[in-house]
């Protein structure tokens, strides 16, 4: 064993990225390539009466203008959302460029293909559309009476009823009952959505900035009537996703259709504004949380209800009631959420979907209850720590939330906090401290992997998993190096290609345990082959039992004698083998059926608030997490930090503003849609317990999303402590404080 796992390791692809040698989707420059640009609708609902493409078609360099009148036939495919199970990645049931109907503001209505990108963009501005506009519903607020419960949410019941909540609330010694809201948010990954497609007869190859290349392959095969074997999708490098690249948005199929139409490769890259129009977002939520407790702070009633929006083209529920199902013991519970169908683009998963907005409401309400009771908010949470999962009744596989709070309180200096609002200051700045719980469930998806040991003694690990920057290639390399006893430099990870073994969507913080378990199984199978080769023939380990041999130092050696053995290169040369390989296919395990598997954490925040201007500055932040075994500490730290920074944006600045008159996004760019920059980010500390989960492969649980959960509530709770003003409507802006 190399003991590579658990050591701080720099990203194996880091040098490629910082030197510009990592090739992203829009950087594939194929021979004779053409460039496409979208023309989007300017109304939210109606019918296209006329589309004048004459001037565009006559513009310099234009090859064709594709509309619903001349586009190749694209079959309808099943939509991937929170209520269905499908192997595809279709984002909407709206027949894009197959109809004259308009379903949302920003729906693609035409595609201009030209010799250069600039020519395509110029010509797209010459297309003139005339619409028969119809009344549209474009904002959630005021449409609550049109809400309906989804059939299920990710296979779970949309409603949970336990005990008599109303009676328990009425009899409670203390209670809170408030409404909380979170806005529409866009992912804004640095790499825009892009697709490059080319046909070779009926063979289709697509480069796509995707978190789910096998789903994209399935959808494109069905949409264009191809066998799966005729479609190859590649995404070896993805510049951020956060859930926004989990589905095939309309640009993907339109690029493929345009390539078929013009008979040459086509590249379609969305502008930042177009990403706001047609690639998904986090649904806004309106939530109501009512909590009741006895005089000792033990919860007697928990009601969490509310609404989120979906579109006419999908049925997506932002699962904000999920944290309330697992975090706290309570005998009387009512959890209900409804969705409202609007004439808007399709919402989708965004980092910590459900858990991020859900913990804002629940953890803010817990803080309000702590003040009602006069109990420290950390102590209140400890008094309601469940022994078993409150929803399923299953035992926890591993849960150490109270320990995370204890460690965090010591590190943060929580005992020095004066609980009275507006009691702490630093010069003219009001100072506040707040806490909140983080939580995210464990998921494991089916996956396959192949591991090869080559004749030169190096190894190659292959899986179709996608890496959006979270360090997947690094973790895969660590697992192989650890099992085969190789230095990291002698292991190469290949990923992001549907010609490689299957991997599910890179989502749900599941890639490490899903693909990792398949890689580990493949390594164990490969080990068996290597031991058999070592003891056969006339090698130095001939007829030595397996139990007395181990893989280390780039070879097979006796456990009892570090010098007695055979290097891999010599072993393969002796058997005249170019390589030895093993493949493993793993399924979602029974651990999720038998145990409640939830990662948790404690978020600590310090803010400074200008009492005259309402300016809020997060001056200190600490997150302490129980996420199982940490395989790659250096990349794990980056994941925790990234989640926290994204949570700070959610708390203080992120909001997509929609014009209620016409459905147009009025801030479709990073100049108007605010995200945290360096000046907004304080000193952030992260700490993890590193306690392996005995039920999880590799002892690990996913950590990519837990970092964002609870952050907005911790900030809001700190703002209340600093100012005495409770903000229940994100983001927390100076206007709301003054």
The per-residue pLDDT for range 230-243, each reduced to its tens digit, is 999 999 999 999 99
- What is the spatial distance between Cα 358 and Cα 637, in angstroms, rounded to a whole number? 24
Tell me: do 535 and 547 sit in the same domain.
yes
- Token pair for residue 2? 């190399």
CA 64, 70, 73, 79 dihedral sign is positive
Question: How many CB atoms sit inside 10 A of residue 489's CB?
Answer: 10
DSSP string, 385-412: --SS-TTT-PPBSS--HHHHHHHHHHHH
**9 part of a folded domain:** no
Looking at the structure, do residues 370 and 328 belong to the same domain, yes or no?
yes
- Does the pTM of the predicted model rise above 0.85? yes
Helix boundaries (H) for 675-733: 711-723
Instruction: Report the C-alpha gap between 184 and 431 in whole angstroms.
Output: 29
550 catalytically annotated: no
Cβ(242)–Cβ(351) below 8 Å: yes
At 668-705, the pLDDT tens digits run 999 999 999 999 999 999 999 999 999 999 999 999 99
Q: Are residues 170 and 302 in the same domain?
A: yes
CA distance 251 to 199: 17
Instruction: Tell me, yes or no, whether 165 lies in a domain.
Output: yes
On whether both 216 and 350 belong to a single domain, the answer is no
Give CA separation, 473 vs 480, 494, 552, 592, 698, in Å: 11, 8, 21, 26, 16
Among 448, 449, 451, CA closest to 579 = 451
Confidence of residue 255 (pLDDT cuts 50, 70, 90): very high
Half-sphere exposure of 170 (CA within 13 A, CB side): 4
Name the β-bridge partners of 604. 435, 622
Residues 300 and 352 grouped into a single domain: yes
What percent of the chain has a predicted confidence (pLDDT) above 70? 100
Identify the residue whose tokens are 């209340």. 720
Best CA proximity match to 460, nearest among 432, 429, 484: 484
Of 535, 558, 588, the position where a domain reaches its end is 588
Taking Cα atoms as reference points, which of 97, 524, 148, 445 lies closest to residue 268? 97
- Dihedral-angle region of residue 614 (phi above 0 means left; psi in -120 to 50 means alpha; beta otherwise): left
When pLDDT is averaged across residues 527-553 and rounded to a whole number, the result is 96
* pLDDT tens profile 460-478: 999 999 999 999 999 999 9
| Segment 108-125 mean pLDDT | 98
Specify the number of domains making up the chain: 3
- Asked which of 568, 588, 608 is the last residue of a domain, the reply is 588
Q: How far apart are the first and last CA of the chain?
A: 60
Alpha carbons 379 and 383: distance in angstroms, whole number: 6
Same domain membership, residue 628 and residue 708: yes
Beta bridge partners of 431: 424, 608
**pLDDT(1) > 50:** no
- 27 within a domain of the structure (yes/no): no
- Residue range(s) defining the domain that contains residue 545: 14-20+445-588
Reading phi first (left if > 0) and then psi (alpha if -120 to 50, else beta), residue 673 is in beta
Question: Which pLDDT belongs to residue 214?
Answer: 98
The three-point CA angle 534-538-542 to 5° equals 45
Domain end point (choices 588, 618, 638):
588
Q: Within a domain: residue 7?
A: no
Return the exposure string of 564-582: e unless at least 16 CB atoms fall within 10 Å of the residue's CB, then b: ebbebbebbebeeeeebbb
Catalytic pick from 355, 368, 705, 735?
A: 705
Q: For the residues 87-102, what does the mean pLDDT come to? A: 98
Do the bridges between strand 266-269 and strand 231-234 make them parallel or antiparallel, or are there none, so unpaired?
A: unpaired
CB burial of residue 363 (10 Å; 0-12, 13-18, 19+): buried
pLDDT confidence bin for 562, thresholds 50/70/90: confident
Same-domain check for residues 495 and 561: yes
Residue 555 inside a domain? The answer is: yes
Same structural domain, 450 and 553: yes
Nearest to 127 by CA among 18, 52, 196: 52
**Mean pLDDT (whole number) for 420-426:** 98
User: Could you report the per-residue pLDDT of 306-354, keeping only the tens digit for each?
Assistant: 999 999 999 999 999 999 999 999 999 999 999 999 999 999 999 999 9
Residues 719 and 730: their CA atoms lie apart, in Å, by 12
The answer to whether residues 223 and 312 belong to one domain is: no
Q: Whole-angstrom Cα distance, residue 255 to residue 245?
A: 16
483 contacts 1 by C-beta, under 8 angstroms: yes
For residues 363 and 332, the answer to whether their CB atoms sit within 8 Å is no
* Rounded Cα gap, residues 627 and 706, in angstroms: 9
Hey, CA dihedral for 28, 34, 40, 46, is it positive or negative?
negative
Do 689 and 607 belong to one domain? yes
Residue 270, pLDDT score: 98
> Across all residues in the chain, what is the average pLDDT?
97
Instruction: Please return the burial class of 331, using the count of CB atoms within 10 Å of its CB with bins 0-12, 13-18 and 19+.
Output: middle
CATH of the domain at 482: 3.30.365.10
Is the omega angle on the peptide bond into residue 731 within 30 degrees of 0, that is, cis?
yes
Copy the structure tokens of residue 414.
Answer: 């929580």
* Beta strand ranges found along 245-293 (DSSP E): 266-269, 285-293
Is 653 part of a structural domain of the chain? yes
Question: Residue range 608-615: average pLDDT?
Answer: 97
pLDDT digits (tens, 9 = 90+) for 184-200: 999 999 999 999 999 99
- Segment holding 256, helix H or strand E: helix 250-262
**What secondary structure, in 3-state letters, does 521-544 show?**
HHHHHHHHHHHHHHHCCCCCCCCC
Q: Are 63 and 176 in the same domain?
A: no
Cα–Cα distance between 296 and 307 in angstroms, integer? 32
List strand residue ranges (DSSP E) for 442-588, in order: 447-454, 459-462, 491-494, 549-552, 555-558, 565-567, 579-586
Instruction: List the one residue out of 610, 664, 667 whose CA is nearest residue 429.
Output: 610
Residue 25 lies in a domain: no
Which candidate, 265, 137, 243, 289, places its Cα nearest to that of 197?
265
User: What's residue 2's pLDDT?
Assistant: 57
> Is residue 659 domain-shared with residue 720, that is, in the same domain?
yes
Whole-angstrom Cα distance, residue 189 to residue 240?
5
Rounded distance, CA 738 to CA 736, Å? 6
Domain assignment present for 375? yes
């Amino acid at each position: 064993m190399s003991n590579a796992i658990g050591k701080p390791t720099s990203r194996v692809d880091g040098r490629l990225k910082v030197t510009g040698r990592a090739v992203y989707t829009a950087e594939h420059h194929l021979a004779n390539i053409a460039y496409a640009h979208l023309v989007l609708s300017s109304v939210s609902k109606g019918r296209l009466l006329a589309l004048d493409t004459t001037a565009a078609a006559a513009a310099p360099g234009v090859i064709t203008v594709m509309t619903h009148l001349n586009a190749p036939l694209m079959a309808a495919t099943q939509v991937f959302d929170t209520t269905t199970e499908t192997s595809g990645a279709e984002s909407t049931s709206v027949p894009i460029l197959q109809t004259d109907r308009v379903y949302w503001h920003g729906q693609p209505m035409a595609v201009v293909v030209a010799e250069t990108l600039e020519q395509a963009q110029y010509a797209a501005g010459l297309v003139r559309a005339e619409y028969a506009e119809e009344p549209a519903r474009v904002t959630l607020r005021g449409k609550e009476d049109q809400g309906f419960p989804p059939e299920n949410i990710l296979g779970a019941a949309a409603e949970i009823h336990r005990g008599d909540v109303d009676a328990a609330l009425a009899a409670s010694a203390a209670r809170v009952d408030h409404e909380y809201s979170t806005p529409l948010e866009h992912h804004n990954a640095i790499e825009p959505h892009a697709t490059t497609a080319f046909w070779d007869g009926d063979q289709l190859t697509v480069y796509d900035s995707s978190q789910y290349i096998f789903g994209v392959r399935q959808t494109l095969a069905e949409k264009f009537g191809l066998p799966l074997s005729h479609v190859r999708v590649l995404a070896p490098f993805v510049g951020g996703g956060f859930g926004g690249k989990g589905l095939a948005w309309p640009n993907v199929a339109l690029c493929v259709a345009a390539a078929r139409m013009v008979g040459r490769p086509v590249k379609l890259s969305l502008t930042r504004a177009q990403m706001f129009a047609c690639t998904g977002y986090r649904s806004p939520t309106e939530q109501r949380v009512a909590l009741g407790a006895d005089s000792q702070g033990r919860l007697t009633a928990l009601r969490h209800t509310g609404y989120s929006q979906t579109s006419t083209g999908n049925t997506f529920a932002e699962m904000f009631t999920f944290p309330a199902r697992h975090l706290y013991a309570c005998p009387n519970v009512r959890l209900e959420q409804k969705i409202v169908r609007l004439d808007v683009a399709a919402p989708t998963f965004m980092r910590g979907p459900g858990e991020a907005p859900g913990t804002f409401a629940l953890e803010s309400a817990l803080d309000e209850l702590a003040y009602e009771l006069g109990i420290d908010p950390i102590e209140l949470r400890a008094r309601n720590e469940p022994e078993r999962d409150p929803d399923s009744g299953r035992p926890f596989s591993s849960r150490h939330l109270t320990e995370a709070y204890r460690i965090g309180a010591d590190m943060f200096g929580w005992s020095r906090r004066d609980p009275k609002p507006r009691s702490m200051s630093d010069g003219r700045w009001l100072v506040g401290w707040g806490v909140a719980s983080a939580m995210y469930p464990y998921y494991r998806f089916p996956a396959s992997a192949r591991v090869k040991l080559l004749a030169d003694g190096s190894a190659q690990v292959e899986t179709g998993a996608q890496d959006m920057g979270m360090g997947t290639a690094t973790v895969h390399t660590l697992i192989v190096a650890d099992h085969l006893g190789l230095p990291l430099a002698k292991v190469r990870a290949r990923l992001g290609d549907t010609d490689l073994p299957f991997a599910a969507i890179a989502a749900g913080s599941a890639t490490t345990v899903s693909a990792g378990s398949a890689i580990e199984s493949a390594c164990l199978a490969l080990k068996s082959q290597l031991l058999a080769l070592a003891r056969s023939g006339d090698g130095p380990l001939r007829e030595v039992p397996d139990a007395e041999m181990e893989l280390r130092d780039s070879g097979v050696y006796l456990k009892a004698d570090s010098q007695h053995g055979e290097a891999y290169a010599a072993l393969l040369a002796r058997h005249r083998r170019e390589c030895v390989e093993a493949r493993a296919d793993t399924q979602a395990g029974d651990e999720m059926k038998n145990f409640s598997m939830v990662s948790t954490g404690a978020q600590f925040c310090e803010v400074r608030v200008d009492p005259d201007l309402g300016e809020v500055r997060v001056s200190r932040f600490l997150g302490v997490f129980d996420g199982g075994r940490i395989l790659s500490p250096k990349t794990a730290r980056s994941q925790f930090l990234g989640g926290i920074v994204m949570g700070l944006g959610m708390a203080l600045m992120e909001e997509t503003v929609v014009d209620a008159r016409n459905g147009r996004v009025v801030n479709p760019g990073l100049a108007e849609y605010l995200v945290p920059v360096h000046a907004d980010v304080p000193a952030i500390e992260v700490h993890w317990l590193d306690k392996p989960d005995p039920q999880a492969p590799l002892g690990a649980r996913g950590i990519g999303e837990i970092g964002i959960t609870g952050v907005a509530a911790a900030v809001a709770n700190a703002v209340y402590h600093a100012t005495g003003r409770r903000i229940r409507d994100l983001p927390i802006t100076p206007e709301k404080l003054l």
